[in-house]
């Protein structure tokens, strides 16, 4: 996917995706600044670049995902690195205040933003920082961002991966793969909630369905059930728990497999089904509850995704979204579910930049680029 710029906007180059739980920000750091440009560069611009690129953490909750940085990209005739930054949506007002303090409006009067927060915080950007938001459709941005990142590759490595032997926990191995012959694909975007898209071409897609039970549900329930405060804490607890202490399995009902319909005894028959028992409730740990919550949400998403793939007659299923960040439990569980229930016909695919594609799509819109095959 070659970018052809009809105009070259002034630096800094940003794209934002303001979600219900997380804000994702991409920033292009030019590495080919000439001595003349550096001399003419205003202090505000230098200050912003230094602040964003010399730190990996911003305040208590902002993080630059250094491991995702893309090096030596050539965009609109400029060479540089693309940085990926995230912070909780709850901290949005602090971010706007920082933009005001660094006099961002003296450099740009408009920011390209997508996600529901582009509407929710539009007036705050205007009144607090004298900035206008160019609001972009989040699903358009998601697809355009995904296609661009896949086209430039991940610093020479494939962006896409899958799990080999997903049914064998001992030999389940992450493998890189290419997204050749991409269309059609079922794109499952797991953020606070879930949207499922059938994508037939870069400009031809439809939203098939979705579910309100997504990453926000997982974290919200974990906060209620365990007292945790963050996504990272919830996943750490889940990694140490045993969901079978909470969920009722097929073997708990049948004493083994339900052979007539090929249901293994280890399959979940009733999520949280053991919690009807006072004795079971008294014996479980917070870690078990976190693991069961994660498995419940993930299994539900996998089930819906598989049904959509069958109904739409699509064999390529791609999972994205920040719910999958540092979440190998869910990625492996989704891989297993797709493989098992489709009898090997469906393979779950995942992408390294998980939840940043919407922000990348907004960034591309800033550049007013067009595709040149």
As annotated, the active-site residues are 138
- Axis-axis angle for helices 215-226, 231-240 (nearest 10): 70
- Axis-axis angle for helices 215-226, 286-312 (nearest 10): 160
Contacts of 51-59 with CB under 8 Å at 24 or more apart are 51/102, 52/27, 52/83, 52/85, 53/29, 53/83, 58/85, 58/87, 59/87, 59/91, 59/94
What is the distance between the alpha carbons of residues 330 and 310, in angstroms, rounded to a whole number?
21
289 to 74, 82, 155: CA distances (angstroms) = 47, 38, 39
- Other CB atoms closer than 10 Å to residue 45's CB: what's the count? 18
C-alpha dihedral, 203 to 206 to 211 to 214, nearest 10°:
-10
314 sits in which H/E element: none
Indicate the SS3 state at residue 354.
coil
Residues 6+ apart with CB under 8 A from 54: none
Give the chain's largest Cα–Cα span.
Answer: 77
C-alpha dihedral, 324 to 162 to 160 to 203, nearest 10°:
-80
What is the distance between the alpha carbons of residues 248 and 315, in angstroms, rounded to a whole number?
31
């Amino acid at each position: 996917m070659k970018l052809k710029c009809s105009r070259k906007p002034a630096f800094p180059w940003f794209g934002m995706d303001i979600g219900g739980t997380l804000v994702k920000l991409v920033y292009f750091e030019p590495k080919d600044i000439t001595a003349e440009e550096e001399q003419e560069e205003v202090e505000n611009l230098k200050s912003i670049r230094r602040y964003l690129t010399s730190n990996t953490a911003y305040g208590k909750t902002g993080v630059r995902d250094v491991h995702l940085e893309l090096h030596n990209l050539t965009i609109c005739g400029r060479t540089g690195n693309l940085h990926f930054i995230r912070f909780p949506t709850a901290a949005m007002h602090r971010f706007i205040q920082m933009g005001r303090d660094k006099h961002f409006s003296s450099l740009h009067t408009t920011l390209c933003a997508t996600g529901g927060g582009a509407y929710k915080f539009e007036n705050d950007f205007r009144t607090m920082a004298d900035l206008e938001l160019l609001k972009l459709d989040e699903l358009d941005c998601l697809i355009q961002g995904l296609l661009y990142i896949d086209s430039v590759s991940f610093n020479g490595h494939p962006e896409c991966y899958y799990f080999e032997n997903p049914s064998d926990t001992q030999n389940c191995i992450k493998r890189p793969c290419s997204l050749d012959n991409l269309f059609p694909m079922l794109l499952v975007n797991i953020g606070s909630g879930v949207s499922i898209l059938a994508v037939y071409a870069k400009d031809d897609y439809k939203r098939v369905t979705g579910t309100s039970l997504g990453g926000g549900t997982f974290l919200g329930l974990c906060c209620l059930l365990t007292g945790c405060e963050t996504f990272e804490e919830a996943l750490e607890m889940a990694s140490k728990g045993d969901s079978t202490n909470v969920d009722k399995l097929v073997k708990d009902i049948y004493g083994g497999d339900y052979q007539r319909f090929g249901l293994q005894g280890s399959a979940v028959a009733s999520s949280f089904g053991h919690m009807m028992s006072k004795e079971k409730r008294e014996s479980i740990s917070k870690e078990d509850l976190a693991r069961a919550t994660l498995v419940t949400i993930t299994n539900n998403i996998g089930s819906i995704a598989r049904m959509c793939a069958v109904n739409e007659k699509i064999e390529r299923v791609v999972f994205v979204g920040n719910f999958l960040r540092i979440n190998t439990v869910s990625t492996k569980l989704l891989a297993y579910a797709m493989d098992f229930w489709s009898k090997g016909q469906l393979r779950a695919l995942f992408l390294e930049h998980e939840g940043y594609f919407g922000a990348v799509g907004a960034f591309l819109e800033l550049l007013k680029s067009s595709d040149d095959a």
